[in-house]
Structure 1
Amino acid sequence: MRVVAKFGGTSLGSGDRINRAADSIADAVAQGHEIAVVASAMGNTTDELLDEIEFEADDPDRAEIVSMGERTSVRMLKAALSSRGVEAVFVEPGSGRWPIYTDGHGEVDAERTKAAVAELAAELGDVVPVITGFLAEDDEGNVTTLGRGGSDTTAVMLGNYIDADEVVIVTDVEGVMTGDPHVVEGARNVGKISVDELRNLSFRGAEVVAPSALSYKDETLDVRVVHYQHGDLLAGGTDIIGEFENLIDMREEPLACLTVAGRAIRNQPGILADLSTALGDSDINIDAAASGMDSITFYVDEDVAERAENILHREVIDGESLSSVTVDDEVAAIRVTGGELPNQPGVIRNFVDPLSDAHINIHDLITSATSVAVFVDWDDREETLEIVQRQF
């Protein structure tokens, strides 16, 4: 089996943890597996180096300075593997085996990177490359970086390009948890999670796998998250399943837009829950919801709009801070879903500008980490869909 194993900073945070990492790699090699290793900077080295830059430094100098964390890690891990009889070599920017390149815009140069990765992959089985994560090299030979979580990006990208069977992310949590184990009691491991679920969590603060890395995962590449204390690269943890699919979808049936107004209701706990519960208890599905300082809007199937209006009206009558409910019928919803949306600057303008040029009124624009939904008049749905398809 061909495996890319990425060790995060916490999993390399001390000599003992480096020994654990080396043991797990050596065990996998002894079982006949082809292993490529990606190493982050030990502990909080990168942050500590950045904190010490209290002077004006241009991007190339800054990148060279912060690269020292990863450069140290790969040397330490290579030495630990050599002491166990494993044929290993550290790989860093500037070395003959270096595989990750960026273009003039700082983006990954996929063509050049794939060619270099193919050469590196040809050596797997004979040698274990220990590669600096987070770092890249530009056309002029300068060190560049892949941004926060860049070591995850390095690992999953390599896994994709070398046709690996699996990428294993070794970190300080027991896979993906139901909650932060440092904050909530009874947090437990999630056996499987989809890339869409994990990316949404990652963009909302979950520090498990960098969102930028997940865009390189395809259906054939297994990605797994394990705890560094587990000691076995080939079992346990959480499986990340599936891949991002760019999808443009238009809802086939019209929606109704119900807006509940009230005084500063955003600052009043429980109102959104009360209104949603009232609709849910009556088996009314909420397609989408949006809130403002003085209003909450629900989108529901048009054929249940009258019943929904009566339910929400009862809540208005019973609630001291609510003033009225209104209904707007025949609303269309067009959604774009895709893993790369958060990495596309100006993605909202890609919706707004062409629709404005076509004199199409937007009722609402609702975004999440990996999707954008635009709500327009039902009569404008076909033209809106055509515009969105052209843009995406």
Structure 2
Amino acid sequence: MRVLAKFGGTSLGNGDRVNRAADSVAAAVENGHEVAVVASAMGSTTDFLLDAIAFEADEADRAEIVSMGERTSVRMLKAALGARGINAVFLEPGHPDWPVITNARGEVDVEETQRRAKALADQLDGVVPVITGFLAQDHAGNTTTLGRGGSDTTAVMLGNYMGADEVVIVTDVEGVMTGDPSVVEGARNVGEITVDELRNLSFRGAEVIAPSALSYKSGNLSVRVVHYQHGDLLTGGTSIEGQFENLIDLREEPLACLTVAGRAIRNRPGINAVLSTALKEADINVDAVASGMDSLTYYVDASVAERAETILHECVVEDETLSSVTVEHDVAVIRVTGGELPNQPGVIQQIVNPLAENHINVHDLITSATSVAMFVDWADREEALRIIQSEFSD
């Protein structure tokens, strides 16, 4: 099996942890696996170096300075592996076999990086390359960086391009947890999670794996997150399943839009639970929910709109916080889904402006880290779909 192991800064935070990392790599090699390693800067080295730049430095100088953390890590790991009889070589920008190349805009040159990564993969038999994470090199040979979370991006990208069977992210958390163990009791490890679920969590504060890295995960590439104390690269942790699918989808059946208004509804704890529970108990599925300063809106199947209105009206009558419920019929929803959406500045404008130019009114816009849902008149659905498809056809 071909494995790419990425060791985060915490997992290389001191000599004992470097030894633990080297032991896990050596064990995998001795069991007959091909292993490549991506290393982050040890501990908080990168933050220390950035804080130490108390002067005006251009981007080239900054990149060279902060690169010293990763450059030190790969030398430490290479030496530790050598002490265990493992034939290892460290790779950093400037090395003839360095794989990660960026273009003039600072973006990854996919074609050249793929070519170099494949050439590196062809050398894995009997050799463990230890590669600096986060860093890249432009076509002129200058050191560049991949931005925040760049070591994770390096790992998953090279795992993909090198034909790895699995990428193992070694970090200071026991995989993905059901909640923050420092806040909630009984938090436990999640054995599996999809890329869509994890990306939504990552963009909302979960520090497990950089969201940018997940864009490089293919369906046949396994990615796993393990704790550095686990000591085994091949078992445990959380497995990240699937890959991002770029999709523009028009819901085939119409929806009804039910809006409940109320005075300072946003300050009424549990009001959404009250209304949602009432719909649930009537076996009415909610397709989407939108909230305003003084309202909550529920999108349900048009076929159950009348029953849903009756149920929500009963809630309005019983709760003095609520004023009224109204229904809008024949609403369509178009969803744009894709792992790259968060990396596309102006993506909302790219959707809304063409619709406005064609006099199509957007009733609601609901976003997550990986999708945008537009609600329009049912009569406008086909034209809206055509416009959105043309915007994302490239």
TM-score range with shorter-chain normalisation? over 0.9
Q: How many residues align?
A: 392
Q: Which residue of 2 aligns with 1:338?
A: 338
Q: Which residue of 1 aligns with 2:388?
A: 388
Residue 305 (structure 1) shift: 0.9
Q: Is the 8 A contact 1:337 1:370 kept in 2?
A: yes
Describe the superposition over 1:47-68 as per-residue Cα deviations: whole angstroms up to 9, x where unpaired.
1221222222221111111111
Q: Distance in 1 between matches of 2:349 and 2:18?
A: 47
Q: Distance in 2 between matches of 1:206 and 1:288?
A: 24
Q: Which residue of 2 aligns with 1:292?
A: 292
Q: Which residue of 2 aligns with 1:67?
A: 67
Q: Which residue of 2 aligns with 1:274?
A: 274
1:178 and 2:181 matched: no
Describe the superposition over 1:116-135 as per-residue Cα deviations: whole angstroms up to 9, x where unpaired.
11221121023111000011
Q: Distance in 2 between matches of 1:209 and 1:358?
A: 40
Secondary structure of 2:176's partner?
Answer: coil
Q: Which residue of 2 aligns with 1:239?
A: 239
Q: Distance in 2 between matches of 1:109 and 1:267?
A: 50
Q: Distance in 1 between matches of 2:207 and 2:27?
A: 28
Residue identity matched to 2:114: K
1:55 and 2:83 matched: no
Residue 313 (structure 1) shift: 1.2
Describe the superposition over 1:314-350 as per-residue Cα deviations: whole angstroms up to 9, x where unpaired.
1112222211111110000000111111111111011
Mean alpha-carbon deviation: is it higher for 51-60 or for 5-14?
Answer: 51-60
Q: Distance in 2 between matches of 1:2 and 1:348?
A: 40
Q: Which residue of 2 aligns with 1:258?
A: 258
Q: Distance in 2 between matches of 1:198 and 1:16?
A: 30
Q: Distance in 1 between matches of 2:140 and 2:181?
A: 45
Mean alpha-carbon deviation: is it higher for 49-58 or for 197-206?
Answer: 49-58
Q: Which residue of 1 aligns with 2:35?
A: 35
Q: Distance in 1 between matches of 2:218 and 2:122?
A: 22
- Superposition CA RMSD, Å: 1.0
Residue 368 (structure 1) shift: 0.4
Q: Distance in 2 between matches of 1:165 and 1:45?
A: 31
Following superposition of structure 1 onto structure 2, how do residues 13-24 of structure 1 map, counting pairs within 5 Å?
Answer: 13-24=13-24
Q: TM-score, normalised by structure 2?
A: 0.98
Q: Which residue of 2 aligns with 1:355?
A: 355
Following superposition of structure 1 onto structure 2, how do residues 98-247 of structure 1 map, counting pairs within 5 Å?
Answer: 98-247=98-247
Q: Distance in 1 between matches of 2:266 and 2:92?
A: 51
Residue identity matched to 2:248: I
1:365 and 2:372 matched: no
Residue identity matched to 1:177: M
Secondary structure of 1:345's partner?
Answer: coil
Q: Which runs of 5+ in 1 are unaligned?
A: none
1:315 and 2:310 matched: no
Q: Is the 8 A contact 1:265 1:321 kept in 2?
A: yes
Residue 182 (structure 1) shift: 2.1
Q: Distance in 2 between matches of 1:76 and 1:342?
A: 35
Q: Distance in 2 between matches of 1:357 and 1:158?
A: 42
Q: Distance in 2 between matches of 1:272 and 1:105?
A: 46
Secondary structure of 2:139's partner?
Answer: coil
Structure 1 runs of 4+ aligned residues shifted over 3 Å read none
Residue identity matched to 2:191: G
Residue 175 (structure 1) shift: 1.3
Secondary structure of 1:54's partner?
Answer: coil
Q: Distance in 1 between matches of 2:66 and 2:25?
A: 26
Q: Distance in 2 between matches of 1:112 and 1:35?
A: 22
Residue identity matched to 2:2: R
Mean alpha-carbon deviation: is it higher for 46-55 or for 360-369?
Answer: 46-55
Percent of counterpart pairs with the same letter? 76
Q: Which residue of 1 aligns with 2:89?
A: 89
Describe the superposition over 1:332-382 as per-residue Cα deviations: whole angstroms up to 9, x where unpaired.
000011111111111101111110111101101110010000000000000
Residue identity matched to 2:293: M
Secondary structure of 1:298's partner?
Answer: strand
Residue identity matched to 2:317: I
Q: Distance in 1 between matches of 2:97 and 2:187?
A: 42
Q: Is the 8 A contact 1:33 1:125 kept in 2?
A: no
Q: TM-score, normalised by structure 1?
A: 0.98
Residue 140 (structure 1) shift: 2.1
Q: Distance in 1 between matches of 2:72 and 2:274?
A: 55
Residue 159 (structure 1) shift: 0.7
Q: Distance in 2 between matches of 1:83 and 1:336?
A: 52
Describe the superposition over 1:74-114 as per-residue Cα deviations: whole angstroms up to 9, x where unpaired.
11111111111111111111111110011111111001111
Q: Distance in 2 between matches of 1:2 and 1:286?
A: 44
Residue 183 (structure 1) shift: 1.9
Residue 220 (structure 1) shift: 0.9
Mean alpha-carbon deviation: is it higher for 45-54 or for 32-41?
Answer: 45-54
Q: Which residue of 1 aligns with 2:45?
A: 45
Q: Is the 8 A contact 1:262 1:294 kept in 2?
A: yes
Q: Distance in 2 between matches of 1:176 and 1:353?
A: 38
Residue 139 (structure 1) shift: 2.0
